[in-house]
Amino acid sequence: MAAMPDPSQWHEPARDVPVMGRPDVLVVGAGSAGIAAALAGARRGAETWLIEASSFVGGLATLGLINLLLTMDDGNGHQVVAGLCQEFVDRLEARGEARFPPPEQWNAEDPDAVDRWRRWGLIWGAPPEAVRYSVAFDPEAFIDVAYETLAGAGVRLRLHTWCAGALVSDGAVQAVMVESKSGRQAIVPSVVIDGTGDGDVLKAAGASMEQVTVPPYLWFRAGGVDEEMLAAAPPGLWFRTTGRGRVLVPWGPAPDRVDPCDPDDLTRAQLACREAARASFDGLRRDVPAFAHAWIDDYARMLGITESRRLQGDYVLEKGDGDVRFPDSVARTGHWTRRHVVYDIPYRCLTTSALGNVLAAGRCISTTRYVHQATKEIPAAMATGEAAGAAAVHALGSQGRVHAVDVDSLRKDLSGSGVVVGGPDHGGGAPGAGI
Ligand SMILES: Cc1cc2nc3c(=O)[nH]c(=O)nc-3n(C[C@H](O)[C@H](O)[C@H](O)COP(=O)(O)OP(=O)(O)OC[C@H]3O[C@@H](n4cnc5c(N)ncnc54)[C@H](O)[C@@H]3O)c2cc1C
């Protein structure tokens, strides 16, 4: 007698899937890290593809309305994130869509300077507060800059395409399975970079991950705010933006935690956060005269998830590593709430011995929860993305084997592109001098 099928399972028959292409480098996820990774790969001459589930690029930095680059310095007046992140700042500034303190103000504790930049959302952390090199930017301009630079570099961008799996054999990802309106397709890359934030490729490929639940946020923007009245009022939990009469409200956290990889949880949170954010806006309109005639311009299209899955890779960067200058460091970051805390990010935080041709970039790199507070920030995400994109190209000379990369020459390559790579021989530049 044939065994009864398990009613809780459906057997999907095996099938052949069309191969979409065989790029040198496939970047999955076009958040700030994925954009930087794709640019770094393509500008070094690799055929580079960038796959994104949504209809925009930028991830939390644009769809999530997290429109603050915190931070590009070490809290001691030295710039520690440069490279592509600095290029984006320059391009945003040229459009009039970025605001940041000039170098001579970095590290200043002068109350007037602190008050000025606090109103832009650029001052955080415990007293004594100081001005940092952080940047407020417009999300639509960030998207435009991303499209312009990706096209200029020759990246093949495919939006509306979701990574749904990874096929692994011989310790490497042989194919990344994607789903879109065109159905299921396979991409067969030499090297894969996981820029999904949630580590979807790494997880699907069986890498060891740590996952947490978090309280979500839903930032929103209000228009029609009276700027003169706002300037005369004490600072509140809203930030100036590059648009006149428009403020950014960092609503959250919601009272209930969510599993950021559970769509039912996310859906519940999306609805509840929207209702609560609307109520908070109604309160502002009622209680703060500058908001009396304001309206909601937009809610974040992406729920504010500070943390989901993190790779537990070849090295897990931890709290005590703040003072360690790693010889294989490929990026450096400060800490947005703690001055004088600087982490070098070793190449081993982007790799896992479980997978020979995969690199992590952005908020899913290999760190503890504590260090993630620093490495998840947009400048650091762009820095690890840039490092991953460059490393992928270096790996092409060894059939895509990321562990065969000569890290010294990778560091030289990145340094030559204006990246602060960190490490014992790269202590950062003079105060206010860039790198
Ligand atoms: C409430 C909140 C406040 C924050 N405040 C700041 C701040 O003030 N300053 C700062 O610098 N940072 C801040 N951060 C952190 C920062 O915004 C993020 O950590 C950073 O933007 C992460 O970039 P990422 O590219 O690694 O990931 P994400 O921005 O999450 O991008 C991942 C991209 O991958 C796509 N994707 C996901 N899964 C798939 C898949 N399976 N297939 C295809 N595509 C996929 C997503 O659509 C997205 O575009 C904050 C974060 C939150 C939530």
53 backbone dihedrals φ, ψ, rounded to 5°: -70, -35
Compute the average pLDDT of residues 404-414: 98
pLDDT, tens digit (0-9, with 9 covering 90-100), for 69-78: 999 999 999 9
For residues 265 and 315, state if they share a domain. Answer: no
Q: What percent of the chain has pLDDT over 70?
A: 97
For residues 23 and 81, state if they share a domain. Answer: yes
Task: Measure CA of the first residue to CA of the last residue in the chain; give whole Å.
Answer: 73
Q: Is the pLDDT of residue 390 over 50?
A: yes
In a domain, 29, yes or no: yes
Higher pLDDT, 125 or 294: 294
Nearest CA to ligand 1 atom 51: 306
- pLDDT score of 426: 60
- pLDDT score of 215: 97
Compute the average pLDDT of residues 20-31: 98
Q: What percent of the chain has pLDDT over 90?
A: 94
Q: Are 348 and 364 in contact (CB under 8 A)?
A: no
In a domain, 345, yes or no: yes
Q: Is the pLDDT of residue 132 over 90?
A: yes
Cα 426 to ligand 1 centroid, rounded to whole Å: 28
For residues 158 and 66, state if they share a domain. Answer: yes
In a domain, 5, yes or no: no
Q: Is the pLDDT of residue 428 over 60?
A: no
For residues 322 and 188, state if they share a domain. Answer: yes
Among candidate residues 264, 299, 334, the one where a domain is terminated = 299
Local confidence band at 430 (pLDDT 50, 70, 90 cut-offs)? very low
Among candidate residues 252, 276, 299, the one where a domain is terminated = 299
In angstroms, rounded to a whole number, what is the distance separating the alpha carbons of residues 258 and 216?
7
Cα 299 to ligand 1 centroid, rounded to whole Å: 16
* DSSP per-residue codes, 133-195: S-EEE-HHHHHHHHHHHHHHHT-EEE-S-EEEEEEEETTEEEEEEEEETTEEEEE--SEEEE-
Local confidence band at 1 (pLDDT 50, 70, 90 cut-offs)? low
Q: Is 135 in the pocket of ligand 1 (CB under 6 A)?
A: no
In angstroms, rounded to a whole number, what is the distance separating the alpha carbons of residues 72 and 53?
28
Cα 60 to ligand 1 centroid, rounded to whole Å: 4
In angstroms, rounded to a whole number, what is the distance separating the alpha carbons of residues 310 and 301?
23
Atom number, ligand 1, closest to the C-alpha of residue 363: 26
For residues 205 and 341, state if they share a domain. Answer: yes
Atom number, ligand 1, closest to the C-alpha of residue 63: 49
Q: Is 216 in the pocket of ligand 1 (CB under 6 A)?
A: no
In a domain, 357, yes or no: yes
Cα 404 to ligand 1 centroid, rounded to whole Å: 29
Cα 58 to ligand 1 centroid, rounded to whole Å: 8
For residues 324 and 403, state if they share a domain. Answer: yes
In angstroms, rounded to a whole number, what is the distance separating the alpha carbons of residues 328 and 120?
36
Q: Is 344 in the pocket of ligand 1 (CB under 6 A)?
A: no
68-69 and 135-137 as β-strands: parallel, antiparallel, unpaired? antiparallel
For residues 69 and 196, state if they share a domain. Answer: yes
In angstroms, rounded to a whole number, what is the distance separating the alpha carbons of residues 356 and 404?
9
Nearest CA to ligand 1 atom 1: 304
Among candidate residues 299, 333, 363, the one where a domain is terminated = 299
* 49-to-20, 56, 144, 161, 398 alpha-carbon distances in Å: 11, 15, 18, 12, 20
In a domain, 10, yes or no: no
- pLDDT score of 434: 34
Q: Is 66 in the pocket of ligand 1 (CB under 6 A)?
A: yes
CA angle 212, 214, 218 (to 5 degrees): 145
Q: Are 247 and 230 in contact (CB under 8 A)?
A: yes
For residues 224 and 157, state if they share a domain. Answer: no
From 102-106, 203-207, 321-325, 387-391, the region with the lowest mean pLDDT:
321-325
Strands of the sheet containing 295-299, edge to edge, are 239-240, 247-249, 220-223, 295-299
Q: Is the pLDDT of residue 432 over 50?
A: no
CA angle 299, 303, 308 (to 5 degrees): 165
Q: Is the pLDDT of residue 8 over 50?
A: yes
Local confidence band at 433 (pLDDT 50, 70, 90 cut-offs)? very low
Nearest to 381 by CA among 159, 191, 194, 173: 194
CA-atom Rg of the chain in angstroms: 22
Q: Is 195 in the pocket of ligand 1 (CB under 6 A)?
A: yes
pLDDT, tens digit (0-9, with 9 covering 90-100), for 197-234: 999 999 999 999 999 999 999 999 999 999 999 999 99
20 backbone dihedrals φ, ψ, rounded to 5°: -75, -35
- Look over the chain and give the mean of its residue pLDDT values, rounded to a whole number: 95
pLDDT, tens digit (0-9, with 9 covering 90-100), for 307-343: 999 999 999 999 999 989 999 999 999 999 998 899 9
Which structural domain, as residue segments, surrounds residue 361?
17-116+134-212+307-435
Q: Is the pLDDT of residue 431 over 70?
A: no
For residues 286 and 178, state if they share a domain. Answer: no
Atom number, ligand 1, closest to the C-alpha of residue 196: 34
* 216-to-6, 195, 252, 271, 358 alpha-carbon distances in Å: 36, 20, 7, 12, 29
Compute the average pLDDT of residues 259-280: 97
* 383-to-75, 85, 96, 200, 330 alpha-carbon distances in Å: 18, 7, 23, 20, 8
For residues 71 and 196, state if they share a domain. Answer: yes
For residues 271 and 186, state if they share a domain. Answer: no
Atom number, ligand 1, closest to the C-alpha of residue 361: 26
343-346 and 329-333 as β-strands: parallel, antiparallel, unpaired? antiparallel
In angstroms, rounded to a whole number, what is the distance separating the alpha carbons of residues 229 and 399?
61
Compute the average pLDDT of residues 109-137: 95
Ligand 1 pocket, mutate which of 376, 382, 384, 386 (most atoms under 8 A from CB): 376
Local confidence band at 5 (pLDDT 50, 70, 90 cut-offs)? confident
Both tokens of residue 201?
A: 């490729």
For residues 181 and 258, state if they share a domain. Answer: no
Compute the average pLDDT of residues 231-247: 95
In a domain, 377, yes or no: yes
Q: What is the CATH number of the domain that holds 64?
A: 3.50.50.60
